[in-house]
């Protein structure tokens, strides 16, 4: 299945068979999904063979990794290997016939013999495919070209018939090579992970084995420069790892014990060992490959429109060409040879191959370009919708911020008799499981090694904690606790209010009689968030932040990063209502979250973006677009790629139809020749394919 003409023939043939309910074509990977009630696939394979093609089951293994490998092998075998010498010889013969005809230096029968020799060398494949298409009442490019060349021979246009067949064969061959490049862009994902890994055996030795045989829990060793074969967690050693093939991160990442590593990433410097956490068929890379394959199968809106348009367009133009050939000679006194020739030219121009092939090539190129950037798009429909985004709603925690509270401020109010207030607060905080207390405990690494013994520790719900240190009772708590102790003052409240207006949570270290220090804790903003919001604004896209935090925190974070509309104190249902509100204002909305907690809002938005999907298989499965790391700048990058894809799709459609319209006029005026018509059809097909492939460089 090399181009849309074969797809149409298969679809027409199988759709008439009883027991077949659904067909799903993936032309880029040359695969066909068939939903049927037949006892086996023999009848399906026979039907495909009757069309001059060969079909075989892609994979019967339950192991997805094996299926992917089989598919890669099948595609490798199907890659076009051109046999150039007959084509070169036929080209020389066709050119010789043209020269002899133009100079009239040889008898007509010599010109005819040379032209027929050229057609015989390069035309059999076209004639075979054309005959099969006509038998199945299908007007594809091979059928139209066969009719046109035969008609040209019958009316004595020998040299032109030969040149048309040669040019058509050359263009088909080059177009096939271009399509192979688009296919290889996706197939290249399969080559990222190595086939073998060095695994520790039960006797302590190390043995290189097939990655498909490695099970979870196995210990794998990676040397400098090697690709990592499986997902895992570093057990020993340190290194820098290039994760660009998976997450799109531009710089290598430092990896140490307990850090995650992904199949397909590259170990750059040190040697380390990691514990396997996912088998070959379930690695992040395997899920990416599966998602991209699924994305190819779902047709984008433009592609669906083009396919429907082509089904009407081709027969209409065919019968128009027939009318051009017959009506003027029959009713207007035109010359038969002249008007038949014009009808034949129209037949060549008629095929919508350029129009049909332009959309899948552009979409697949866009999907591949996005995958290389660490952006996993789950279908062409989202690639197209991305170009229309006008509002992006973002969760705060873990999306705009890191999702891990840290101590940001320390204000000393009075000295304590038992040591530094930071040390005392850290000692109390280390006994608590509250995120704010834990952030204070982790703030001072030196204090963590010299924590004081806390006696009579007690958690005070909704207020804080208390405990005895060196015989003195200390409290670490919020404003409510300090107020209940009767320790609030006007200056203390002013300091507290100032920090809270910055979106920070404030706790105080106090005794029963005095407040010693204020500690402010906040979820810090990622460095990339402000740049990402700025880039979205430059693209004309407005932003909204949806968070369960209080309004002060929401407004402070929004002001810092440049969010247009902050919304605080929101439950999941409230976030859903916010998306509905934006859509009621006629916005095309994207929602950015973790793929789980924000599920209602993600599902309701036109595009749901999941952050840091490399760490969560759920996000890859559920999101419309999965960002493989936690860098928000990938969203404007996705929008730019979507807009570029949409532009190329429009360019290709306008170009394909525009050239055909021009040649339609030229043909009716008697200006266009058949070899010019070949360029108008197959030449345009090649140009739109090359235009679509430009996305691979984005």
β partners of residue 208: 198
β partners of residue 236: 273
Per-residue burial over 597-606, b = 16 or more CB atoms within 10 Å of its CB, e = otherwise: ebbbbbebbb
Per-residue burial over 320-345, b = 16 or more CB atoms within 10 Å of its CB, e = otherwise: ebeebbeebeeeeebeeeebbbbbbb
Read off the DSSP letter of residue 227.
B
Please name which of 284, 564, 623, 549 lies closest in space to residue 398, comparing C-alpha atoms. 549
Please name which of 218, 216, 189, 217 lies closest in space to residue 208, comparing C-alpha atoms. 218
Backbone φ and ψ of 385, nearest 5°: -65, -35
From CA 485, how far away is CA 429, in angstroms rounded?
19
- Report CA-CA distances (Å) from 253 to 78, 154, 245, 383, 628: 38, 70, 13, 29, 14
From CA 648, how far away is CA 652, in angstroms rounded?
6
Whether the Cβ atoms of residue 162 and residue 168 lie closer than 8 Å to each other: no
Active-site residue among 231, 307, 395, 549?
Answer: 395
Using DSSP, state whether 542 is helix, strand or coil.
Answer: strand
Please name which of 646, 592, 645 lies closest in space to residue 623, comparing C-alpha atoms. 592
Tokens (6 digits) for 349: 């121009």
Which residues lie below 8 Å from residue 443, measured CB to CB, with a gap of 6+?
Answer: 406, 407, 422, 426
Whether the Cβ atoms of residue 164 and residue 681 lie closer than 8 Å to each other: no
From CA 510, how far away is CA 201, in angstroms rounded?
57
Angle at 638 between CA 633 and CA 644, to 5 degrees: 130
Please name which of 200, 377, 230 lies closest in space to residue 296, comparing C-alpha atoms. 377
- Report CA-CA distances (Å) from 59 to 24, 44, 63, 88, 229: 16, 16, 9, 39, 22
- Report CA-CA distances (Å) from 669 to 345, 385, 664, 673: 12, 42, 9, 11
395 tagged catalytic: yes
Q: Which residues are catalytic?
A: 395
């Amino acid at each position: 299945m090399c181009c849309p003409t074969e797809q149409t023939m298969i679809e027409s043939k199988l759709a008439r068979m009883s027991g077949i309910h659904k067909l799903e074509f993936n032309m880029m990977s040359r695969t066909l999904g068939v939903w049927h009630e037949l006892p086996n696939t023999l009848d399906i394979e026979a039907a495909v063979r009757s069309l001059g093609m060969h079909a075989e089951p892609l994979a019967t293994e339950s192991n997805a990794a094996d299926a992917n490998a089989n598919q890669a092998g099948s595609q490798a075998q199907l890659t076009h290997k051109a046999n150039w010498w007959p084509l070169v010889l036929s080209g020389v013969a066709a050119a010789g016939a043209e020269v002899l005809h133009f100079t009239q230096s040889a008898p007509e029968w010599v010109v005819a013999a040379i032209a027929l020799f050229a057609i015989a060398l390069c035309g059999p494949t076209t004639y075979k495919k054309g005959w099969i298409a006509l038998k199945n009442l299908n007007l594809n490019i091979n059928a139209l070209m066969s009719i046109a060349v035969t008609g040209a021979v019958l009316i004595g246009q020998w040299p032109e018939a030969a040149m048309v067949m040669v040019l058509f064969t050359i263009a088909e061959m080059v177009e096939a090579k271009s399509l192979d490049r688009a296919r290889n862009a996706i197939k290249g994902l399969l080559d990222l992970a190595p086939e073998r890994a060095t695994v520790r055996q039960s006797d302590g030795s190390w043995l290189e084995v097939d990655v498909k045989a490695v099970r979870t829990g196995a210990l794998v060793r990676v040397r400098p420069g090697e690709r990592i074969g499986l997902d895992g967690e570093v057990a020993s050693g340190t290194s820098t790892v290039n994760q660009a093939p998976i997450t799109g991160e531009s710089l290598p990442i430092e990896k140490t014990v307990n850090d995650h590593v992904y199949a397909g990433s590259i170990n750059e410097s040190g040697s380390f060992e990691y514990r396997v956490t996912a088998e070959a068929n379930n690695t992040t890379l395997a899920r990416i490959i599966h998602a991209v394959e699924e994305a190819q199968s779902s047709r984008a809106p433009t592609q669906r429109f083009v396919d429907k348009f082509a089904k009407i367009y081709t027969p209409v133009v065919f019968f128009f060409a027939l009318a051009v050939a017959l009506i003027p000679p029959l009713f207007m006194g035109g010359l038969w040879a002249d008007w038949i020739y014009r009808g034949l030219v129209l037949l060549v121009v008629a095929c919508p191959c350029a129009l049909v092939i332009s959309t899948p090539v552009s979409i697949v190129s866009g999907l591949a370009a996005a995958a290389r950037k660490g952006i996993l798009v789950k279908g062409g429909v989202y690639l197209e919708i991305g170009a229309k985004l006008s509002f992006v709603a973002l969760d705060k925690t873990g999306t705009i911020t890191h999702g891990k509270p840290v101590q940001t401020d320390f204000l000393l109010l009075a000295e304590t008799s038992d040591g530094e207030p930071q040390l005392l607060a850290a000692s109390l905080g280390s006994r608590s499981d509250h995120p704010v207390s834990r952030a204070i405990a982790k703030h001072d690494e030196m204090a963590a090694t010299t924590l004081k013994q806390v006696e009579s520790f007690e958690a005070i719900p909704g207020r804080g904690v208390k405990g005895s240190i060196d015989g003195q009772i200390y409290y670490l708590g919020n404003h409510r606790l300090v107020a209940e102790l009767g320790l609030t003052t006007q200056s203390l409240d002013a300091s507290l209010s100032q920090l809270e207006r910055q979106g920070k949570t404030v706790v105080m270290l106090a005794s029963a009689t005095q407040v010693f220090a204020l500690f402010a804790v906040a979820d810090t903003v990622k460095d990339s968030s402000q740049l990402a919001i700025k880039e979205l604004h430059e693209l004309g896209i407005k932003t909204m932040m949806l968070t369960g935090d209080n309004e002060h925190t929401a407004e402070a974070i929004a002001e810092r990063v440049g969010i247009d509309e902050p919304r605080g104190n929101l439950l999941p249902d409230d976030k859903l209502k916010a998306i509905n509100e934006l859509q009621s204002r006629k916005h095309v909305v994207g929602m950015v979250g973790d793929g789980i907690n924000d599920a209602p809002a993600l599902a309701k938005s036109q595009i749901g973006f999941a952050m840091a999907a490399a760490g969560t298989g759920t996000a890859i499965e559920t999101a419309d677009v999965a960002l493989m790391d936690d860098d928000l700048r990938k969203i404007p990058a996705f929008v730019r790629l979507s807009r570029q894809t949409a532009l190329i799709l429009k360019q290709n459609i306008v170009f394909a139809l525009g050239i055909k319209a021009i040649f339609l006029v030229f043909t009716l005026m008697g200006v266009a020749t058949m070899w010019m018509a070949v360029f108008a059809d197959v030449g345009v097909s090649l140009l739109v394919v090359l235009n679509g492939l430009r996305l691979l460089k984005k």
